[in-house]
Amino acid sequence: MAKLLNVFLLTVSIVLLSNINSKAQKWVADTIVVELSDGNNAPAPFRLKNIVDSRGVHPAFISVYEQKKWLVFPVDQIVYISSPLSKILEGRFTNDTLEGLDFNVDIKEYCVKNNTSIGARSLSLNAVVELSKNNGAATSFLGTFYYSDNVKQKKRESLSDGYQALFNEWANRFTSDVIGVNNGLDELMSESYYHFRRGQPAIKKNFYVETEFFGGLNFWGIDAALWFSEPESERMFNRSTGLMRYVEHPDFRAIAFGSSIPLWNFRFTDKSLFSHKVAFLLGVNNWKDMDTVDHKLEEILYVNMSFTQRINFNQIDRSGFVFGVGLMEDIHYVVYHKPKIKIALALNLAYKF
């Protein structure tokens, strides 16, 4: 029993340390410079007169992602464009012949995530832009745009082409949005302008501290997670988190870990949110009958998959407590034992900062 307990503790320590080291032990970051043109082939229907970049990073920074060097060593790839982002926007949204339709923008966020798999690349833009109308001597604050745009390309295609396509797609959408907001369409067609918050300044991403209790027939457990969530730009959106789970079964107890756990969400109202979590976890277990049964060492391995559907009290764009209730479908497997499927009631409690 003592020997198996030591193996249990050692395994947990290795999992924790390896996760920490994978984040901390990186090679020196590489810098990539990509060409990004303003793509302005015709005068814009309005002019950005004043452009402020409040991101708090290098003015030409647009992306950072991890890449394996020699298929083993993680190296950060920091992507810059050839000119400051504000200059690119200035060139895109200019019109020397237009008078009386000037706007100011404050770029709070503009960052591209590069998710590359075998043969394919997905570029996802997260952008937050405050918009004000320039009325000559005075300005009037209109509100904040939140964007989550995505383009896909083949891995063999130029990375610069992907960033350019993403920028062009966003710029075209931003053009339409500014014209619509200036004409008050966001108040007439609120669903089409869900990503715009009239009269509200930009908010930062939320930091969640989350605990979920679940229990069913002859088993119970606790999930713990810490994760960040960007402001919601769509009614339907995805997030991901790391997860640690402790679970008690009649014949053993286990602890398991998972990363990049997908969270699918749909917002019903400003206070209610439906979420669906799919968790795949690996861990170790401790048998309760070690004094009477001679278990093999391989039986310490624990594989767990679960599906959780919840209705949550979760206020949009506000920090505070989050409550949720729902159902969990649990599937777990231990070496030399049959897989088991169980149903549980799930209660969620979180605080978002």
Same domain, 72 and 164: yes
Rounded CA-CA distance 246/285 in Å is: 10
Give the residue ranges of DSSP H helices in 137-249.
Answer: 159-182, 185-188
Same domain, 209 and 258: yes
Residue tagged 């009037």 (tokens): 140
- Has residue 267 been placed in a domain? yes
Same domain, 183 and 235: no
Residue that terminates a domain, selected from 180, 198, 216: 198
124: domain CATH number is 3.40.50
Same domain, 222 and 189: no
Residue that terminates a domain, selected from 137, 166, 198: 198
Same domain, 75 and 194: yes
Q: What is the DSSP letter of 298?
A: G
Number of independent structural domains in the chain: 2
Same domain, 277 and 346: yes
Same domain, 213 and 81: no
Same domain, 130 and 233: no
Same domain, 259 and 120: no
Quick one: which of 316, 286, 288 has its CA closest to 301? Answer: 286
Cβ burial, residue 14 (10 Å; 0-12/13-18/19+): exposed
Contacts 24+ apart (CB under 8 A), 318-323: 319/206, 319/351, 319/352, 319/353, 320/351, 320/352, 321/349, 321/350, 321/351, 322/208, 322/210, 322/348, 322/349, 322/350, 322/351, 322/352, 323/348, 323/349
Q: What is the pLDDT along the chain (353 residues), one digit of tens a residue?
A: 454 444 444 444 444 444 444 443 344 468 888 888 887 677 789 999 999 999 999 999 999 887 766 656 677 889 999 999 999 999 999 887 777 789 999 999 999 998 877 778 899 999 999 999 998 788 999 999 999 999 998 888 888 899 999 999 999 999 999 999 999 999 999 999 999 999 999 999 999 999 999 999 999 999 999 999 999 999 999 999 999 999 999 999 999 999 999 999 999 999 999 999 999 999 999 999 888 888 899 999 999 999 999 999 999 999 999 999 999 999 999 999 999 999 999 999 999 99
- Has residue 79 been placed in a domain? yes
Same domain, 177 and 283: no
Residue that terminates a domain, selected from 198, 220, 244: 198
Structure token digits, residue 71: 């298929």
What pLDDT is attached to residue 19?
45
Residue range(s) defining the domain that contains residue 279: 204-352
